[in-house]
Amino acid sequence: MKLWSDSWSNGEAIPARYAAGRIEAAGGVGFSDNVNPHLAWSELPAGTKSLVLICHDFDVPSKPDDVNKPDREIPADLPRVDFFHWVMVDIAPALGAIGEGQFSRGFTARGKPGPAAGQGARHGLNDYTGWFAADPQMAGQYFGYDGPFPPFNDSLVHHYVFTLYAVSVDRLAVDGAFTGAQVREALAGKVLAEATLSGTYTLNRRLARA
């Protein structure tokens, strides 16, 4: 089973157009184009009835105390947790690809609608739902793709992993506004094969210049 993209090669830095945040030329950071990348797949195993896509960042600080503080950097040895950027289930295997910008162009305050994603597929909530929950201007249900926006003062370059799962059921057993954690649980015993595509991203000017 293979997964690839025309947007960047595996392991490379993710171009800013596919991120939710970017470094501004005038200083600071701001929202970026937030375009979902192109993804394509092939060589699915026999018995594949649907596909599941998860994109997560495994470098997210486990404590928010130092996040986006201009007078310090988040220490590299701080324990890290997962942050889900894209959760999509019931993808038809025959589609063969997801087009660049098919599901996201720009960052939408309060989130894009869901879960229906067209052609039988469904979007889950990404973790901007929780991140903005206490912000009255941004709070909402964030379905579908919203790209990287790591802390601008993190001492680690963040890693983003797109994982495509070939599964043995037509419809995954999740409903409503489901989350990445719920999808991972529902995948147990149903995965025939998986493939990954990774990329890196940083908003730390010191690291970006390195």
How high is the pLDDT of residue 135?
97
Task: Tell me the pLDDT tens digit for each residue of 56-74.
Answer: 999 999 999 999 999 999 9
Degrees to nearest 5, angle at CA 159 with 134 and 20? 45
Residue 144 near residue 114, CB atoms below 8 Å: yes
Task: Tell me the pLDDT tens digit for each residue of 130-180.
Answer: 999 999 999 999 999 999 999 999 999 999 999 999 999 999 999 999 999
pLDDT reading at 210 higher than 80? no
Residue 166: Cβ within 10 Å count: 23
The three-state secondary structure class of 208 is helix
Rounded CA-CA distance 184/29 in Å is: 32
Q: 182-207 burial, b for 16+ CB within 10 Å, e for fewer? A: bbbebbeebeeebbebbbbbbbbeee
How high is the pLDDT of residue 7?
97
| Cis peptide bond N-terminal to 75, omega within 30 | no
How high is the pLDDT of residue 108?
98
Degrees to nearest 5, angle at CA 74 with 70 and 79? 160
Task: Tell me the pLDDT tens digit for each residue of 186-208.
Answer: 999 999 999 999 999 999 999 99
The side-by-side arrangement of strands in the sheet containing 116-118 is: 116-118, 121-123, 80-91, 50-61, 158-167, 191-201
How high is the pLDDT of residue 25?
87
Radius of gyration of the chain (CA): 17
How high is the pLDDT of residue 38?
98
Confidence bin at 53 (pLDDT 50/70/90): very high
Find the CATH number of the domain harbouring 32: 3.90.280.10
Single pTM value for the model: 0.97
How high is the pLDDT of residue 44?
98
Confidence bin at 10 (pLDDT 50/70/90): very high
Expressed as residue numbers, the domain containing 52 is 2-209
How high is the pLDDT of residue 118?
96
Residue 181 near residue 204, CB atoms below 8 Å: no
Amino acid at 86: W
Mean residue pLDDT of the chain comes to 97
Task: Tell me the pLDDT tens digit for each residue of 84-117.
Answer: 999 999 999 999 999 999 999 999 999 999 999 9
Residue 172 near residue 196, CB atoms below 8 Å: no
Closest CA to 108 of 134, 133, 142, 132: 142
| Beta-ladder partners of 50 | 167
pLDDT reading at 121 higher than 80? yes
Degrees to nearest 5, angle at CA 188 with 183 and 189? 140
Domain count, the chain: 1
pLDDT reading at 49 higher than 80? yes
Q: Which helix (H) or strand (E) holds 128?
A: helix 128-131
